[in-house]
């Protein structure tokens, strides 16, 4: 608890009687890059808005640096937000937009000018100070929005899907830029996105949310490799989720066969769910393969082929750089490491 900068304790939020957040407990450490990840309507943005002060929780407490913040309005909080639609002031130029927060603090105009110019330089927008907002591209506006928040040197920066409106290439560049900046400036980032790849790329900690409940919290590697339930497995990348039974530690049965695995600690005979990632399945000779099935479809995806292979009643999604023609029988191989066991959902 010592270095937690933001703590949410049992936060519940209801809009018109409808529960949007259900008993969320979450703590964010200083200098951490935390991502709230989930499909739209999962409550991630509401969580961010509660931290920012734009919504008050129906019940539960918000702590910032150890102080209770429930009733503190946004303008008194030591954090800044980068909004989804940037929310740049259209009647001001780039310089005035960035200087807005500093001018509110009645800082000396000279210091303001220094700080703003430094920000413009940091974001490669050196000569853009006099430009009007509508003369900028989406990517530039986005950087101005981040600069406007960062220039205030907040302890925490909240980002609400800031890259959502950018094209793929620009988004990738900005992801790296943001991550580098976060490390360099040592500011805590709380980032909201529905893009699982973005979350995996940038975060120290990912909080997967659905239906107003935290599904899983952990490092990107943990979340990807050891999803706690079918929702997380399905949402973080594509997966094959099968019903199975745990026979012993390190021994699982599915599709009528027993397989070695690396999981343990489940009850004997416990019904579980098995996750195998499509990229972990390899097409192999039938003779040496533990499973064999018939190719149902082949789609070219650029880097790989996406195939659906039916093994008895189950259709496996397979990502492979080699392809097999539709209708042929192929073997599917995987290692014990590729099998992830989850507790069975409802």
Partner 1 sequence: MKDRTKYFSYPYIVWMTIFIILPSFLVLLYSITSKESNGITTINFTLENYKLFFDPMYINILFDSMTLAAISTLICLILGYPAAYIISTSNISKRNTLLFLCILPMWMNMLLRTYAWMTILGNNGLINNFLEMIGFQKVNLLYTRGATVMGMVYNFIPFMILPIYTALSKMDIGLIEAADDLGADKKTIFRKIILPLSMPGVISGIIMVFMPAVSTFIIPQLLGGNKNMMIGNLIEKLFILNGDWNFGSAISIIMMIIILISMSIMNKFDVDKEGGARLW
For partner 1, which residue of 9, 27, 70, 152 counts as binding (CB under 8 A)? 152
For partner 1, the closer of residues 151 and 332 by Cβ is 151
Residue matched to tokens 């393969």? 289
Tell me the DSSP string of 216-227: EEE-HHHHHHS-
Binding mask 130-149 for partner 1 (x = CB under 8 A): ----x-------------xx
- 9: tokens are 């304790």
Q: How far is the CB of 78 from partner 1 (least distance, A)?
A: 10
Candidates 16-24, 100-108, 178-186, 303-311; binding stretch for partner 1 (CB under 8 A): 100-108
Considering the complex, state which of residue 90 and residue 186 has its C-beta at the smaller distance from partner 1.
Answer: 90
Of the candidate residues 39, 41, 66, 74, the single one contacting partner 1 (CB under 8 A): 74
Q: Which of 4, 29, 83, 155 binds partner 1 (CB under 8 A)?
A: 83
How far is residue 20's CA from residue 41's CA, in Å, rounded to a whole number?
8
Torsions phi, psi for 72 (to 5 deg): -85, 125
**What secondary structure does DSSP assign to 248-296, as a single string?**
ETTEEEETTEEEE-S---PPTTEEEEEEE-GGG-EEE-GGG-SEEEEEE
The C-alpha atoms of residue 95 and residue 129 are separated, in whole angstroms, by 4
d(CA 228, CA 342): 6
Under a CB-based contact definition with an 8 Å cutoff, are residues 257 and 334 in contact? Answer: no
Could you list the beta-strand ranges (E) of 30-141.
Answer: 33-37, 59-64, 67-68, 79-82
CB of 58 to partner 1, least distance (A): 20
Q: Which stretch binds partner 1 (CB under 8 A): 3-11, 17-25, 73-81, 168-176?
A: 73-81
> Considering beta carbons, is residue 82 or 233 the nearer one to partner 1?
82
Q: Which two tokens stand for residue 333?
A: 């191989």
| Cβ(158)–Cβ(62) below 8 Å | no
44 belongs to the binding site for partner 1 (CB under 8 A) = no
User: If binding is defined by CB under 8 A, does position 333 make contact with partner 1?
Assistant: no
Question: Binding marks (x or -) toward partner 1, 274..313, rule CB under 8 A?
Answer: ----------------------------------------
| Residue 89 found at the interface with partner 1 (CB under 8 A) | yes
Q: Could you say which residues in the range 52-71 bind partner 1, by CB under 8 A?
A: 52, 54
Instruction: Identify the residue among 1, 2, 71, 91 touching partner 1 (CB under 8 A).
Output: 91
314 binds partner 1 (CB under 8 A): no
- Comparing CB distances to partner 1, the nearer of 88 and 230 is 88
Query: Is 11 or 88 the residue whose CB approaches partner 1 more closely?
Result: 88
Return d(Cα 92, Cα 112) in angstroms, integer: 16
Q: How far is the CB of 20 from partner 1 (least distance, A)?
A: 18
Binding of partner 1 at residue 162 (CB under 8 A)? no
**∠ CA(166), CA(176), CA(25), 5° rounding?**
85
CB 220 within 8 A of CB 199: yes
DSSP conformation letters of 177-203:
HHHHHHHHHT-EEEEEES-HHHHHHH-
Q: Which of 12, 23, 30, 87 binds partner 1 (CB under 8 A)?
A: 87
CB of 182 to partner 1, least distance (A): 19
Smallest distance from the beta carbon of 19 to partner 1, in angstroms? 23
Residue 254 · residue 242 · CB < 8 Å: yes
Residues that bind partner 1 (CB under 8 A): 52, 54, 73-76, 80-81, 83, 85, 87-91, 100-101, 104-105, 134, 148-149, 152
């Amino acid at each position: 608890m010592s270095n937690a900068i933001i703590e949410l304790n049992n936060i519940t939020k209801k809009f018109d009687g409808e529960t949007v957040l259900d008993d969320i407990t979450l703590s964010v450490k200083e200098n951490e890059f935390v991502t709230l990840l989930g499909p739209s309507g999962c409550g991630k943005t509401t969580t961010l808005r509660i931290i920012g002060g734009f919504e008050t929780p129906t019940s539960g407490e918000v702590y910032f640096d150890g102080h209770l913040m429930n009733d503190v309005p946004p303008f008194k909080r030591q954090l800044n937000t980068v909004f989804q639609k940037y929310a740049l002031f259209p009647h001001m130029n780039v310089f005035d937009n960035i200087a807005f927060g500093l001018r509110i603090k009645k800082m000396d105009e000279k210091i303001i000018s220094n700080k703003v110019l430094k920000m413009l330089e940091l974001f490669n927008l050196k000569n853009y100070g006099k430009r009007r907002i509508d003369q900028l591209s989406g990517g530039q506006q986005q950087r101005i929005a981040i600069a406007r928040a960062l220039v205030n040197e907040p302890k925490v920066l909240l980002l609400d899907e800031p890259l959502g409106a950018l094209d793929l290439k620009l988004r990738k560049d900005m992801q790296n830029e943001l991550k580098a900046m976060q490390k360099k400036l040592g500011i805590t980032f709380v980032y909201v996105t529905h893009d699982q790849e973005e979350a995996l790329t940038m975060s120290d900690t990912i909080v997967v949310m659905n239906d107003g409940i935290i599904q899983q919290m952990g490092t990107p590697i943990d979340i990807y490799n050891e999803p706690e339930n079918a929702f997380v497995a399905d949402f973080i990348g594509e997966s094959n989720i099968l019903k199975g039974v745990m026979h012993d530690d390190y021994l699982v049965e599915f599709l009528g066969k027993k397989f070695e695995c690396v999981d343990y600690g489940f009850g004997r005979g416990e019904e579980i769910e098995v996750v195998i990632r499509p990229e972990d399945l390899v097409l192999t000779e039938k003779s040496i393969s533990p499973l064999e099935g018939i190719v149902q479809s082949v789609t070219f995806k650029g880097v790989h082929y996406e195939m659906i292979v039916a093994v008895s009643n189950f259709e496996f999604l397979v990502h492979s750089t080699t392809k097999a023609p539709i209708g042929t029988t192929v073997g599917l191989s995987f290692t014990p490491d590729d099998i992830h066991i989850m507790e069975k959902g409802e």
